[in-house]
Amino acid sequence: MSGTPGGATAVADRPEAARTRAATLTPWRPPPSRAVIARCVQVVGALDAVFAVLPSWHHRMASMAHLLPTAGMVTARTATAVVGVLLVYLGAGLRRGKRRAWQLAAWLCGLSIGLHMLKASPAPAVVSAVLLLVLIVERHRFRARGDVGTRWRALGVCAGFIGTGFLLGLVEVALRAGQIAGAAGPLQWAQHVALGMVGVTGPLRFDHPATTTAVDLTTGAFGLLGFGVGAVLLLRPCTRRAGWADGEEARVRDLLACHGDADSLGYFALRRDKSFIWAPSRRAAVAYRVVNGVSLASGDPLGNPAAWPEAIAAWLSDCDAHGWTPAVLACSTTGGTAYRRLGLDVIELGDEAVLDVPGFSLQGRPMRTVRQAVARTRRAGYTVEVARQRDLDDAVLDEARTCAGAFRHSSVERGYSMALSRFGETGDGDCLVVLCRDGEGRVRGLLQFVPWGESGLSLDLMRGDRSAENGITELMITSAVEFAAASGIRRISLNFAMLRSVLARAEQLGAGPVTRLWARILRAFSGWWQIESLYRANAKYQPQWQPRFLCFPSARDLPRIAVAALSAEAFLPSGRRRSEDERRCG
């Protein structure tokens, strides 16, 4: 039967064939020449800004005085400084291969040449000319597409500033019409204002030089603002509206059913704000979301590990096509190895607490704190109900939904890499719900676990009434473990502890001063992000610690990735606003 299509597919799916295909995938790296050009553009921009503030030689200004009045020279010098700052800003976009960044850089280099000539500075003009030539020769390096929406938004803002400046300039000229030397009508007024907005003094001459300088600076400032702000908006990173194509959800659920045991975070790929990049064979996919120009994947790729390299390569190619920075949050050791083979760097982000259900016991001194908390809450009359979501009747599920919202301690639903951000939907019937009730039958706490393959659970939601008896969390978790043991579930993933190893090493005998310093810094930040408290809350259950990693292209991208990750996790307020107003890329 090897001649049939099914037989051919079976041969292609053998591990040897998959490894052969993976070996042909080259690691993803941006062209080195692109990074060199970006750095050169930034250096030239910095020099432009420096030369703009240096005093000009007196004889140069005197030699140009008959062509360009002093006010025009001042405006040209200011424009040169703005051009330099914009060139420095464009370096990041050029490094990511943005086509618009190249277009603006080429245009600004041409403008810089003209401005330097107006200031009688030939040497910087020659440098800008050489850079312009290099940009033209290497234009094929910059192909990343931009967002159509930002183009029109930038044009609107630029037109708004220029229009406002033009009207104010006309008003200013009209108010000083009595100081104009010679006869001049509205047409000359408009010509003077328009030329002033591009840094050139127009045909009008005023009786007082201070008046000429004031008009030129007003119009020049609005012109610079219009073009500068427009350029910044034009280079704003585009994103991609999250959404699933027809049949994608079913296909992802099939992959989770076949390979979901590999990663405890696999089910979180079904968040509504994620999209998928598929391997050509459709046997693996990368779940991601674009945040502030960062394509942020989370966890390991989905599907057959043999097809992961193809899915990762497709995702990296998509990032390169749009100028996005690729990054991966909280992948496992296996996933980190796959991403590193395709060119990304990897650092440890923290550890995931995993309970071994068959080996879990409340007996022994290490579990005394948990054992006492469970006994105390049970004596207070608290009881726990554990069931799959599909087995709960509608009244109980509605009550749980209400309590999940009421017990949330902030108005923002946090989470991205390790949270589903929904509760009680029909498609999540396999989720495990744990409800804790007090002696009067009121729900005082709840947990939700998502499936981790066929023999595992992963904690998604943990909510509790702050006025409830201290210890209901311990009671709910131990009750979930008891249910899991009776149901054949062998693993339960609890919370993630960021940089846990630093805190753990700082507690060991002989910890060095650097380790202790890092631990103190993390404790200082724990007031905002619960770094130490999550570690302590997990450690008391004596879990097995599984490392999780962050993947990224280079160290200089880490600040950008950190902002994107905090936005996606809703620790920064811009994350939710951006998700509600995402733009579609061309």
pLDDT, one tens digit per residue, over 417-451 is 888 888 988 889 999 999 999 989 999 999 999 99
User: Residue 27's pLDDT is what?
Assistant: 66
Instruction: Give residue-wise pLDDT tens across range 483-542.
Output: 999 999 999 999 887 766 665 656 655 666 666 665 666 666 555 556 666 777 788 999
Mapped onto helix, strand or coil, the DSSP state of residue 329 is strand
Helix, strand, coil % (nearest 5) of the chain? Answer: 55, 15, 30
Percent share of the chain, pLDDT over 90: 34
288, 163: one domain: no
Q: Give pLDDT tens digits for 366-398.
A: 899 999 999 999 999 999 999 999 999 999 999
Could you tell me the pLDDT band of residue 150, with boundaries at 50, 70 and 90?
low
Exposed / middle / buried, residue 359 (Cβ in 10 Å: 0-12, 13-18, 19+): exposed
pLDDT of residue 323: 83
For residues 566 and 434, membership in a common domain is answered with: no
298-357 confidence digits (pLDDT tens): 999 999 999 999 999 999 999 888 888 999 999 999 999 999 999 899 998 888 999 999
Same domain for 229 and 318, yes or no, is no
Domain final residue pick, 146, 172, 187: 146
Give the per-residue pLDDT at 9: 34
Asked if the model's pLDDT at residue 66 lies above 60, the reply is: no
% of the chain residues with pLDDT over 70? 76
Distance CA 548, CA 350 (A): 5
In this prediction, residue 515 carries a pLDDT of 61
Bridge-based pairing of strands 294-298 and 325-331 is parallel
pLDDT at residue 551, as a whole number: 95
Residue 206 has pLDDT above 60, yes or no: yes
pLDDT, residue 237, reads 65
Nearest CA-CA partner of 52 in 80, 26, 72: 80
Q: Place 48 in a pLDDT band, splitting at 50, 70 and 90.
A: confident
Q: Is residue 585 part of a domain?
A: no
Helix (H), strand (E) at residue 166: helix 148-175
Q: Is residue 568 part of a domain?
A: yes
Q: Strand ranges (DSSP E) for 428-479?
A: 432-437, 443-451, 456-464
Q: Cα 375 from chain centroid?
A: 44
Tell me the Ramachandran region of residue 545: left when phi exceeds 0, alpha when psi lies from -120 to 50, beta otherwise. beta
For residue 109, tell me if it sits in a domain: yes
pLDDT at residue number 580: 39
295 plus 279 within the same structural domain: yes
Instruction: Output the CA torsion sign for 283, 496, 422, 370.
Output: positive
Tokens of 496: 């993630």
Q: Is the pLDDT of residue 69 over 60?
A: no
In-domain check, residue 192: yes
255 or 416, which is more confident:
255
Same domain, 463 and 499: yes
Cα–Cα dist 492/457, whole Å: 5
Within this chain, do residues 228 and 340 fall inside the same structural domain, yes or no? no
Q: Give the N- to C-terminal CA distance of the chain in Å, as an integer.
A: 45
> Residues 280, 310: contact at Cβ < 8 Å?
yes
How far, in Å, CA of 195 to CA of 72, rounded? Answer: 10
Q: How far is CA 471 from CA 378, 382, 383, 476, in A?
A: 9, 10, 12, 9
Q: Could you tell me if 397 and 530 lie in one domain?
A: yes
Is 327 in a helix, a strand, or coil? strand
- Residue 586 falls within a domain, yes or no? no
Residue-level pLDDT at 499: 67
Q: Using an 8 Å Cβ cutoff, are 545 and 503 in contact?
A: no
Helices marked H in 413-548 — which ranges?
A: 472-487, 500-506, 513-529, 531-539
Partners of residue 548 on adjacent β-strands:
350
Do 532 and 398 share a domain, yes or no? yes
Q: Which two tokens stand for residue 323?
A: 């100028």
Q: What is the pLDDT of residue 118?
A: 67
- Asked if residue 391 is part of any domain, the answer here is yes
Q: Mind listing the pLDDT tens digit for each residue in 102-142?
A: 888 888 888 888 777 766 677 778 888 888 898 888 888 88
Instruction: Check whether residue 401 and residue 434 sit in a common domain.
Output: yes
Question: Which of 226, 233, 235 lies closest to 100, judged by CA?
Answer: 235
* 574-583 mean pLDDT: 42
For residues 156 and 134, state if they share a domain: no
pLDDT per position as a tens digit, 547-568 = 999 999 988 889 989 888 888 8
Range of the domain at 328: 5-28+239-344+561-580
Q: How many domains does the chain fold into? A: 4
Question: Quick one: tokens of 49?
Answer: 């800004």
Over residues 1-18, the pLDDT tens digits come to 333 333 333 333 444 444
Does position 221 have pLDDT exceeding 80, yes or no? Answer: no
Which residue in this structure is represented by tokens 């090493």? 505
Q: Are 166 and 126 within one domain?
A: no
The mean pLDDT of the chain is 79
Comparing 139 with 30, the larger pLDDT belongs to: 139
> What confidence score (pLDDT) does residue 59 get?
42
Q: Of 187, 219, 236, which one is at a domain's C-terminal end?
A: 236
Residue 225 has pLDDT above 50, yes or no: yes
pLDDT at 527: 56
Query: What's residue 539's pLDDT?
Result: 85
Cα–Cα distance, 70 to 119 (Å, whole number): 10
* Residue 401 is assigned to a structural domain of this protein: yes
Distances (CA, A) of 194 to 187, 270, 523: 11, 55, 58
Instruction: With a cut of 50, say whether residue 68 has pLDDT above it.
Output: no
Query: Which pLDDT does position 337 carry in this prediction?
Result: 95
Confidence of residue 207 (pLDDT cuts 50, 70, 90): confident
Which residue among 236, 267, 300 closes a domain?
236
Q: What residues pair up with 545 in beta bridges, in sequence order?
A: 353
Indicate whether 165 belongs to any domain.
yes
Whether residues 172 and 232 fall in one domain: yes
More confident residue, 339 or 96: 339
